[in-house]
Structure 1
């Protein structure tokens, strides 16, 4: 029964990701970012990170992914940054990366550096490039 509830919840959140309301889309981004398996919802998260209608959706989704403080969350943001079509979206994603409070400590910076080194060898050329650029700026 729990699996059915999880499937039903996921279906509801994915539907919310297409809402005309920016706040509903942003909430969907936050909920999807909390998913234990980001790969299962990566396409929807990617679309929300690149939301063309409201920067708030991009901001909330990116923050939620980065709050995970893990490599999959960081990877999702870097993948979106690599293909952001508008300068505004790229700036929003870059700002979330630059001002993430998890990376403001020595331990956080070390964790970020380790994650970026791992992502610098990613299969996706865009993710690799973004990871390499950030690593260069940290040196």
Structure 2
């Protein structure tokens, strides 16, 4: 896929991330989570994780990132969690439980990802990784 094709595919979702409609912002978060490693997308995802207008956007974006089952997706959720207000933090915690708390195997996978983030350069991410990891031990 060329950069132009990539941009053409993502532009509607990048634009949708600022929509007044919560459903459009949530759909944008779900789609953009698949390409979270793109710097411009990462910034948008962080904003969607902390969406101040609707916690559904927060939860959908977080669940899509967590559904990647990789360090990057979890790191983005933990970074948002570290700066979230109480309501948003509750939604992010619920997303972690919804995606990563369905089975013993999920818990083990989450523990492995959190272990990798306990020494993250961002102290807030490291702190959140320790908090999530503690009850899993």
Is the CA contact (8 Å cut-off) linking 1:29 and 1:48 kept in structure 2?
A: yes
- The runs of 5 or more residues in structure 2 that have no matched partner are none
Q: 1:38 to 1:66 in 2, by over 3 A?
A: farther
Q: Report the alpha carbon displacement of residue 112 of structure 1 after superposing the two structures with TM.
A: 1.2
Q: How many residues align?
A: 137
Q: 1:31 to 1:134 in 2, by over 3 A?
A: same
| 1:41 partnered with 2:41 | yes
Aligned twin of 1:121:
119
Aligned twin of 2:89:
90
Q: Report the alpha carbon displacement of residue 108 of structure 1 after superposing the two structures with TM.
A: 2.2
Q: Report the alpha carbon displacement of residue 36 of structure 1 after superposing the two structures with TM.
A: 6.1
Q: How far does the alpha carbon of each residue in 1:9-47 deviate from its partner, in whole angstroms, 9 at most, with x for none?
A: 222221110111111100000010011625452111000
Structure 1 moving runs of 4+ over 6 Å: none
Q: TM-score, normalised by structure 1?
A: 0.90
Q: What is the rounded CA distance, in whole Å, between the counterparts of 2:77 and 2:29 in structure 1?
A: 12
1:108 corresponds to which of 106, 109, 120 = 106
Aligned-residue RMSD, C-alpha:
1.7
Aligned twin of 1:69:
69
The 5 Å alignment of 1:126-137 reads: 126-137=124-135
Q: Report the alpha carbon displacement of residue 95 of structure 1 after superposing the two structures with TM.
A: 0.9
**1:90 counterpart SS class:** helix
